[in-house]
Amino acid sequence: MNFLSPIAGLVLAAAVLPPLLLLWFLKLRRARTPVSSQRLWREAIEDMRANAPFQRLRWRWLLVLQILVLLLIAFAIARPRVQGAGESGQRTILLIDTSGSMRAVDTDDGRTRLEHAKDVALARIDALHGGGALFSESGETMVLSFSGDAVVECRFTSSAAELRRSIAEITPTDQPTRAVPALRLARAYATNTDPESPWPVGGPAVIECISDGRIPDLADRFLEAGESLVYHRVGSADPKNWSYSVFAADRDVRDPRQVRVLVGLIAEGAAVDGELVLRVDDAVVATRTIAAPEPRDDAPYARLDLVLGPFTLDAGATLEAEVVVSDANPADNTAWLELPPPKPLRVQAIAPVPDLVRFGLESLSPASFDVVDSVEALQTGYDFTVWPAESLGDAILPEGRHLVLGGIPNGLGIRQVSDQTAPAVVMAIEALHPVMRGVGVGRLEILNAPTWKASRGVTELMSGPGGGLVFAAEPPGRRVVAVGFDPMQSNWPALPGFIAFLANTAAWLSEVPEANAFEPGDVMRLQGTPGANAMLSGPGLEVEIPFDFDGRGEFGPLRSVGRYVVQSPGQRATGYAVNRTDVEENLLGSSEVLQLRGTAISDEVSGSAKKSIRVWILLVVLAVLLGEWWLWRR
Amino acid sequence: MRFGETRDPAPTTMEELAPGGLLAKLSRMDVVARRAIRGARSGERRSRKRGGGLEFAEHRDYEPGDDLRFVDWNVFARLDRLVTKVFIEEEDLTVALLLDASASMDWGNPNKFLFARRMALCLGVVALRAGHRLRVHGLGGSCPPDLAGLRGGSRSLPLSSWLLDARASGGSDLAETVGRVSGGRQGRGVLILLSDCLEDGAADAVRRAASSGWETWVLRTLCPEELDPGANGLAGDLRLEDVEQEGGVEVTVNRSLLQAYHARLNADRSNLESEVRRAGGRLVELDTSLDPELVLFELLRRGGLLR
């Protein structure tokens, strides 16, 4: 047995019992008994009061029954539930988790969590619609599935066959777990409304969630007043699994044909050793033995980052990484990547470009490096533009990618704290950012550095004593690296780290990130021939995508990971990769409780839900009251 | 049956009032006056009045005007001094029965009022048969008019009729009534108060009677429900309502309260007894569950009221 509102019951018991005892003494109904004289009794009572300020509580059946009644009411308010079927005529909404973690196989029977969840749901259907001596009146049940979004699998019905059929048709997805849309939908259905009544009719439905409990978006949601949420847990709390956190490839800035592949792996639990296989266009190019490192700080998982390559890839390619191992979730063992063909670096700059900066950029061997005299002379077709501070003015940077030297342009969310400049040294750098990777700043000294303050969304790559010095920002349509001080007012161009900074900046500004990469649950937005249709094929999928007159088409939300191909008439096929790389979503350990804000709902034993026994308690209260009445009248 | 409710039927004949030939057993008994009392007329009882009686009392110095017939010439011959013999004049004894007829008396098992009337009849018959003058007064209630001047065993009938017709109800102002009865101009004697003495003023009543020259006996009549309420079924959460007064007292009858009640009852006994004794009277507590013969032949005889 457990309680949905234990605090409420305890508070009530604590609040009503002392007043009951008080009222018992103050307002006890007493039998009228004649005596020849009150005098001796009055004097005796006065004697007792003088000797004992408080009379001891005596054993009285009426008092005991009244305390019992109050305790039972408090018990009922705590909403106890016991193992059983359901309320007579109750409306129930079954929420079935179909997210990627439900593909996990962590039981010996080789069946996925989703299949177990469906078993639980079917058992609940049997319990709710199986009839019985006490609950012969069958209620209505609705089935919702949820992952990235909520899907109504079956509307309210009392037909067990229809419910079973809808449950059997539920298919797994690779989407993340988002229960809030499902909860919102369930709440909308849970309120029983009559169109002719301004008020809700009948009681709210009971929501039963069948899941592994890894539902992060529920943590900031409250359980509403009167709402019943039951959690049926499936899955193991300690699975052994490998999954991906990163699958990316970088072409070398100097030689774009050279490709390095970064694979970030997550080892959850005591993941067994295995092998990572990297394929390029279905041909194995590398294998690597993987073993789970020790997790840090009692984390439930450990990270393993691997860099493979470089490989020489002259053209675009499809990369596939596969962890060859027997683990809890085979569905997340493969990741795909569409690598675009090498693109020569093309840079344009607005004069004047300091010589040391020019030398640094030219050392990257760009295919073209052109300098224009003014902003108006800028051309398209370049990977990024180098802006000296003098040319900035008050203008906002145009769409595109930019490297700004000696100042911060407007519109980036960075403001100057004061007009004063002062000598500065570097206090900290954002070493994990791609622009600062391997950039040494130990001996960097700045003669005149303004003080800048960045707002949220801007990355402070390099910080001085008064504020930021170098920033990276990605406002809509732009990607900008801005150096807030004049490099020529420092010794930076003379240091090796400056070349590394320019090389990283050029690589970051010229990359085409995630253009063809999606996560499950994303909507795939495509550009094609206006008014034409394209064929999208993917894992177990083949659909036609229409493009509007602006050439825009979309498909989604994507349900499964894998490689998708869009074939437009008369054009080359384009590949797209859909991977699960969200670490939290990839973790599989099921949770014992469903954590809501302020409430933790314990899991039920799978197969049957607990039944509220409040009605029975209230019946007992009525019986006790009748007994009390009988005692009273006796 | 409620606590203290009387089960005994009201008597309608003298035999019911004094069953078992009780009156016949009293033929040799008499009311005792512990000291000489001035009566209204001559009788069989020693009187404080010295003079024409036969029983020698004392000598006193002769004073001019004394009857020479009472000069003790033998003493004069021996002592050469004139002394006069003083004789106790014999007068009749007045016995006053004061019956408390307040509502509190009509309570208990056995009923206190019935018991008190039974005792009054027995004591009255004893007094009449002994040749004493008998007065009967009702305190409170609805009693027939007071009886006064009864004398001789043949007057037992009006006495019993009076007692049979007496009804207990309402309250009684004990001190006021006793003061009025005892303060009359009729002769003094033995005043017997039959009451439960549960109201304040019992001791004051005795004091008034004693100060008027009455030898006062208080026969305090209590029933078992008053003497031991716990053993007679009083328990639980109760509102005790006085049969004489408005209002009630709310009690939870438990062991502590019963102990406190007994302590208070004992204290009340002691107070009343010391007050009565200080006023020159005597107190005898009678339990209505006692056999009347035991009361008459043992308690009252040993107490000194009867012989």
ipTM score assigned to the predicted complex: 0.80
Q: How far apart are CA A352 and CA A374, in angstroms?
A: 9
* Answer CATH for A241-343 from 3.40.1050.10, 3.40.630.30, 2.60.40.10, 3.30.540.10: 2.60.40.10
Q: Which residues of A touch B248 (CB under 8 A)?
A: 32, 38
The answer on pLDDT for A625 being more than 60 is yes
Block residue for tokens 């039944």: A611
A507 or A28, which is more confident: A507
Lowest mean pLDDT among A425-439, A487-501, A505-519, B25-39: B25-39
Summarize pLDDT for A435-461 with one digit per residue, the tens. Answer: 998 888 888 999 989 989 998 889 999
Q: Do A58 and B263 lie within an 8 Å CB cutoff?
A: no
B192 or A89, which is more confident: B192
| A581-598: average pLDDT | 86
Query: How would you label B37-59 residue by residue, b for 16+ Cβ within 10 Å and e otherwise?
Result: bebbeebebbbebeeebeeebee
Q: Do A33 and B198 lie within an 8 Å CB cutoff?
A: no
Please count the residue pairs, one from chain A and one from chain B, whose beta carbons lie less than 8 angstroms apart.
Answer: 107
User: What residue in B sits closest to A46 (Cα-Cα)?
Assistant: B260
The answer on pLDDT for B266 being more than 90 is yes
Summarize pLDDT for A253-267 with one digit per residue, the tens. Answer: 778 888 999 999 999
> Contact B158/B150 with Cβ under 8 angstroms?
yes
The answer on pLDDT for B40 being more than 50 is no
- Of the candidates A34, A38, A58, the beta carbon closest to that of B4 is on A34
Query: Given this model, what pLDDT does residue B47 score?
Result: 45
| A145-150: average pLDDT | 89
**In this structure, what token pair is assigned to residue A109?**
């029977």
User: What residue in A sits closest to B221 (Cα-Cα)?
Assistant: A36
Q: Do B237 and A33 lie within an 8 Å CB cutoff?
A: no
- Of the candidates B237, B245, B263, the beta carbon closest to that of A38 is on B245
Lowest mean pLDDT among A18-32, A58-72, A476-490, B100-114: A18-32
Task: For residue B110, say if its preceding peptide bond is cis, omega within 30 degrees of 0.
Answer: yes
Amino acid identity of A228?
S
Q: B123, B166, B149, B118: which is closest to B20 by C-alpha?
A: B118
Please report which confidence band the pLDDT of residue A242 belongs to, taking 50, 70 and 90 as the band edges: very high
Q: Which residues of A touch B268 (CB under 8 A)?
A: 40
The answer on pLDDT for A198 being more than 80 is no
For residue B174, the distance in angstroms to the closest alpha carbon of chain A comes to 15
Q: Do B238 and A33 lie within an 8 Å CB cutoff?
A: yes
Q: How far apart are CA A394 and CA B57, in angstroms?
A: 149
Summarize pLDDT for B136-177 with one digit per residue, the tens. Answer: 999 888 889 988 888 887 888 999 999 999 999 888 778 888
The answer on pLDDT for A27 being more than 80 is no
Query: Given this model, what pLDDT does residue A278 score?
Result: 95
A611 or A387, which is more confident: A387
Q: How far apart are CA A536 and CA A553, in angstroms?
A: 11
User: What residue in A sits closest to B1 (Cα-Cα)?
Assistant: A33
Best mutation target among A35, A42, A47, A58 (most B Cβ atoms within 10 Å) is A35
Report for A277-291, A561-575, A605-619: range of highest mean pLDDT: A277-291
Q: Do A33 and B200 lie within an 8 Å CB cutoff?
A: no
Architecture of domain A519-578: Sandwich (2.60)
| A142-163: average pLDDT | 90
Query: Given this model, what pLDDT does residue A288 score?
Result: 93
Q: Do A30 and B237 lie within an 8 Å CB cutoff?
A: yes
Q: H or E element: which one contains A162?
A: helix A160-168
Q: Which residues of B touch A28 (CB under 8 A)?
A: 237, 250, 252
Q: How far apart are CA A264 and CA A245, in angstroms?
A: 5
- Of the candidates B198, B237, B263, the beta carbon closest to that of A39 is on B198
Lowest mean pLDDT among A100-114, B39-53, B258-272, B285-299: B39-53
Neighbours of A552 (CB within 10 A): 13
Query: Given this model, what pLDDT does residue B97 score?
Result: 92
Q: A424, A431, A429, A415: which is closest to A466 by C-alpha?
A: A424
User: What residue in A sits closest to B256 (Cα-Cα)?
Assistant: A48
| A61-79: average pLDDT | 80
User: What residue in A sits closest to B107 (Cα-Cα)?
Assistant: A36
The answer on pLDDT for A606 being more than 60 is no
The answer on pLDDT for A152 being more than 80 is yes
The answer on pLDDT for B132 being more than 80 is yes
Neighbours of A242 (CB within 10 A): 27
Q: Do B248 and A29 lie within an 8 Å CB cutoff?
A: no
Mean model confidence pLDDT for chain A: 84
The answer on pLDDT for B20 being more than 50 is yes
Q: Which residues of B touch A32 (CB under 8 A)?
A: 238-239, 241, 248
The answer on pLDDT for B48 being more than 50 is no
Query: Given this model, what pLDDT does residue B211 score?
Result: 81
The answer on pLDDT for B262 being more than 90 is yes
User: What residue in A sits closest to B237 (Cα-Cα)?
Assistant: A30
Q: Which residues of A touch B223 (CB under 8 A)?
A: 36
Best mutation target among B264, B268, B272 (most A Cβ atoms within 10 Å) is B264
Query: Given this model, what pLDDT does residue A2 score?
Result: 61
Please report which confidence band the pLDDT of residue A634 belongs to, taking 50, 70 and 90 as the band edges: low
- The domain spans of chain A are 2-29+37-80+618-633, 90-238+588-608, 241-343, 346-510, 519-578
Q: Which residues of B touch A24 (CB under 8 A)?
A: none
> Contact A170/A153 with Cβ under 8 angstroms?
yes
User: What residue in A sits closest to B233 (Cα-Cα)?
Assistant: A33
Lowest mean pLDDT among A108-117, A249-258, B101-110: A249-258
Q: Do B196 and A37 lie within an 8 Å CB cutoff?
A: yes
The answer on pLDDT for A219 being more than 80 is yes
| B32-41: average pLDDT | 58
For residue A43, the distance in angstroms to the closest alpha carbon of chain B comes to 7
Contact status of A52 with chain B (Cβ, < 8 Å): yes
Query: Given this model, what pLDDT does residue B6 score?
Result: 81
Q: Do A34 and B252 lie within an 8 Å CB cutoff?
A: no
User: What residue in A sits closest to B105 (Cα-Cα)?
Assistant: A36
**In this structure, what token pair is assigned to residue A631?**
């005692």
Query: Given this model, what pLDDT does residue A607 score?
Result: 38
- Of the candidates A28, A30, A37, the beta carbon closest to that of B198 is on A37
Query: Given this model, what pLDDT does residue A57 score?
Result: 56
Query: Given this model, what pLDDT does residue A401 score?
Result: 93
Q: Which residues of B touch A43 (CB under 8 A)?
A: 264
3-class secondary structure, A31: strand
Q: Do A44 and B263 lie within an 8 Å CB cutoff?
A: yes
Query: Given this model, what pLDDT does residue A135 score?
Result: 43
A29 or A471, which is more confident: A471
Q: Do A34 and B107 lie within an 8 Å CB cutoff?
A: yes
Interface of A with B in 84-113 (CB under 8 A): none
Q: Where are the alpha helices (DSSP H) in chain B?
A: 14-17, 73-79, 112-129, 156-165, 174-182, 202-211, 224-227, 255-278, 292-294, 301-303
Contact status of A57 with chain B (Cβ, < 8 Å): no
- Name the β-bridge partners of B219: B194, B284
Summarize pLDDT for A299-344 with one digit per residue, the tens. Answer: 788 989 899 989 999 888 899 999 999 898 888 999 999 888 888 8
Please report which confidence band the pLDDT of residue A289 belongs to, taking 50, 70 and 90 as the band edges: very high
Question: What fold, for A90-238+588-608?
Answer: Rossmann fold (3.40.50)
Task: For residue A293, say if its preceding peptide bond is cis, omega within 30 degrees of 0.
Answer: no
Please report which confidence band the pLDDT of residue B194 belongs to, taking 50, 70 and 90 as the band edges: very high
Please report which confidence band the pLDDT of residue A12 belongs to, taking 50, 70 and 90 as the band edges: confident
For residue B195, the distance in angstroms to the closest alpha carbon of chain A comes to 12
Query: Given this model, what pLDDT does residue A201 score?
Result: 54
For residue A55, the distance in angstroms to the closest alpha carbon of chain B comes to 9
Question: What fold, for A346-510?
Answer: Rossmann fold (3.40.50)
How many residues in chain B? 307
Q: Do A34 and B237 lie within an 8 Å CB cutoff?
A: no
| A419-448: average pLDDT | 89
User: What residue in A sits closest to B265 (Cα-Cα)?
Assistant: A40
Query: Given this model, what pLDDT does residue A605 score?
Result: 47
Best mutation target among B196, B245, B261 (most A Cβ atoms within 10 Å) is B261
Domains assigned to chain B? 14-36+92-302 (3.40.50.410), 45-91 (no CATH)
User: What residue in A sits closest to B252 (Cα-Cα)?
Assistant: A30
Q: How far apart are CA B257 and CA B259, in angstroms?
A: 5
Sheet bearing A274-280, strands edge to edge: A283-290, A274-280, A317-324, A334-339
A56 or A469, which is more confident: A469
Q: A198, A262, A319: which is closest to A575 by C-alpha?
A: A319
Query: Given this model, what pLDDT does residue B229 score?
Result: 92
Share of chain A above pLDDT 90, in %: 27
| A521-526: average pLDDT | 87
Neighbours of A202 (CB within 10 A): 12
Share of chain A above pLDDT 70, in %: 88
Q: Do B4 and A43 lie within an 8 Å CB cutoff?
A: no
Summarize pLDDT for B166-190 with one digit per residue, the tens. Answer: 999 888 778 888 888 877 766 678 8
Q: H or E element: which one contains A620?
A: helix A614-633
For residue B184, the distance in angstroms to the closest alpha carbon of chain A comes to 31
Best mutation target among B249, B258, B262, B265 (most A Cβ atoms within 10 Å) is B249
Q: Do B260 and A33 lie within an 8 Å CB cutoff?
A: no
Query: How would you label A416-440 residue by residue, b for 16+ Cβ within 10 Å and e otherwise?
Result: eeeeebeebebeebbeebebbeebe
The answer on pLDDT for A587 being more than 80 is yes
- Of the candidates B5, B225, B264, the beta carbon closest to that of A43 is on B264
Interface of A with B in 14-33 (CB under 8 A): 28-33
User: What residue in A sits closest to B234 (Cα-Cα)?
Assistant: A33
Q: How far apart are CA A557 and CA A148, in angstroms?
A: 8
- Of the candidates B5, B200, B236, the beta carbon closest to that of A31 is on B236
Q: Say if residue A84 is exposed, middle or buried (CB neighbours under 10 Å; 0-12, 13-18, 19+).
A: middle
Query: Given this model, what pLDDT does residue A336 score?
Result: 92
The answer on pLDDT for A186 being more than 70 is yes
Q: How far apart are CA A417 and CA A601, in angstroms?
A: 49
Summarize pLDDT for A458-487 with one digit per residue, the tens. Answer: 999 999 988 899 999 999 889 999 999 999
Summarize pLDDT for A366-410 with one digit per residue, the tens. Answer: 889 999 998 889 898 899 999 998 887 777 888 899 999 999 998
The answer on pLDDT for A230 being more than 50 is yes
Topology match between the domains A90-238+588-608 and A346-510: yes
